[in-house]
Structure 1
């Protein structure tokens, strides 16, 4: 895939890609983005979002009835899922929930949605205590903390990055049986990395991927306030200022640069980790209105 130039004047991240819901602050559609071959990603297939715990009844109806939401891909840790409890979409029989944590965790890596909460691992006093320390490769020591974190997702949980993308690809048909939403807590870091890979596979140029990632900065004040209202995240929100939570374009730009240098780009990384051309075609078809193969 052609590498982006990170040029100025990107206009694809328009406000009409935002999905304004009562219970989220950072939900938007991955449709409407230009591709390197002159195409456009299709709306209503894949959404990215922050935590879905506080959706209103109106939100749920809009997602399920209007947008035909059929699957939720949750990138939070096991502890986060259990501490936050069952969100409103868990009560909707037609919506499937899948869990792929991107953080190294203590204990068993259980898909929390595949078992009853009673069978899930016991939580420590604070959810952050369930996260294992990341090992930083020597070559990455000089990178910024955010870039090191993103590289950590790829180093520690590559199988779940791939599994999340397989879920986004659906059954290989363009409409995939309905819409899918991928989310974490804020919808910016873990979600941002998975979305970057999905958009790269769809043929979205690097500068547009960077712009989409940075778009969360427009809602960061409301996003931090929302997370601060939850006991699960309040301490972290209060410990750091808003600026430290704000995504910066240079973070995603640097991640993409490293992927190009080391693997020939996101698609090269995916191929090395078992998400090869056939599956990439299926994901591309999901986002591009093209049949795989």
Structure 2
């Protein structure tokens, strides 16, 4: 396995887990192209210098936000929302009550009737038959694919057909929801199984910073305090298992995508975002 390069990290003031999906090897001997798709944790606390670097230096034009409606509304308007050149798209990977189809259309108004704890807006996940004995993180990731396959595909389609310019996909920590969408994106680009797993696990290097940033937000503080850092740390075997199950059940990530409407044209468009 080719080791991941440390220069894939973007060291920003306002995030702890931002990196480029470029520079990864592909099965045909190529590499993904830097500066096309980035992955990150929450973007709410970006500094002015961060915004300048992302928008003016890296050409950021699309933000793919995978948080729930309640997270977006409770966290409020982030600094990138003031940049006219940047388009924001929202795709919640978790089933929820009262979902807004255009969450950013209501973000300037008073928060609509959200429960006292935002987690209560999330509907209980249904564990698919046969997945009951999988580890909790694996069940969660399979839940995104089973419960919100439409949102997963729509997020990938936004990445595939956005631009010109760079796109950034993020959730709160940039490891779970973001990890699944990025894993599928890399698979479409031809990045091999073991490199996708390694990219996912790279978040473990910065997890203490991720947890500290989330703990400073009232939206996430309770969840951060109720579990230790180890329980938030991504493990390679989690993504390895998810990819293995996709291989066994669908002939791989591309088979899952094809079965859910993300066909040859979409895959070619996404591949071109990450490959020359």
Q: TM-score surpassing 0.5?
A: yes
Structure 1, residues 90-132: CA drift from partner, whole Å, max 9, x if none?
Answer: 0001100000000010123432024454387421111000000
Name the structure 1 match of 2:269: 282
Name the structure 2 match of 1:247: 234
Name the structure 2 match of 1:273: 260
Maintained 8 Å contact 2:171/2:178? yes
- Any unmatched runs of 5+ in structure 2? none
Name the structure 1 match of 2:130: 139
> Could you state the TM-score of these two structures normalised by the residue count of structure 1?
0.92
Maintained 8 Å contact 1:228/1:238? yes
Maintained 8 Å contact 1:102/1:190? yes
CA drift at 1:143: 0.1
Maintained 8 Å contact 1:161/1:194? yes
Name the structure 2 match of 1:263: 250
Name the structure 1 match of 2:147: 156
Where 1:70 maps in the other structure, the secondary structure is strand
Where 1:72 maps in the other structure, the secondary structure is strand
Structural RMSD (CA): 1.2
Aligned counterparts, 1:91-102, within 5 A: 91-102=82-93
Where 1:139 maps in the other structure, the secondary structure is coil
CA drift at 1:138: 2.1
CA distance in 1, matches of 2:208, 2:136: 21
Name the structure 2 match of 1:213: 200
Number of matched pairs? 276
Structure 1, residues 51-78: CA drift from partner, whole Å, max 9, x if none?
Answer: 0000000000000100010010000000
Where 2:55 maps in the other structure, the secondary structure is helix
> Could you state the TM-score of these two structures normalised by the residue count of structure 2?
0.98
CA distance in 1, matches of 2:198, 2:213: 23
Structure 1, residues 224-245: CA drift from partner, whole Å, max 9, x if none?
Answer: 1111000000000000000000
CA distance in 2, matches of 1:162, 1:100: 9
CA distance in 2, matches of 1:151, 1:37: 28
The reply to whether residue 20 of structure 1 matches residue 7 of structure 2 is: no
The reply to whether residue 223 of structure 1 matches residue 210 of structure 2 is: yes
CA distance in 2, matches of 1:212, 1:253: 11
Q: Residues 209, 235 of structure 1: CA spacing in aligned structure 2 closer, same or farther, 3 A cutoff?
A: same
* 22-31 vs 110-119, which moves further: 110-119
CA distance in 2, matches of 1:41, 1:284: 9
CA distance in 1, matches of 2:196, 2:99: 33
Match for residue 40 of structure 2 among 49, 52, 60:
49
Structure 1, residues 197-218: CA drift from partner, whole Å, max 9, x if none?
Answer: 0000000000000000000000
CA drift at 1:278: 1.0
Name the structure 1 match of 2:2: 10
Name the structure 2 match of 1:183: 170
Maintained 8 Å contact 1:110/1:120? no
Name the structure 1 match of 2:223: 236
User: Which aligned runs of 4 or more in structure 1 are off by greater than 6 angstroms?
Assistant: none
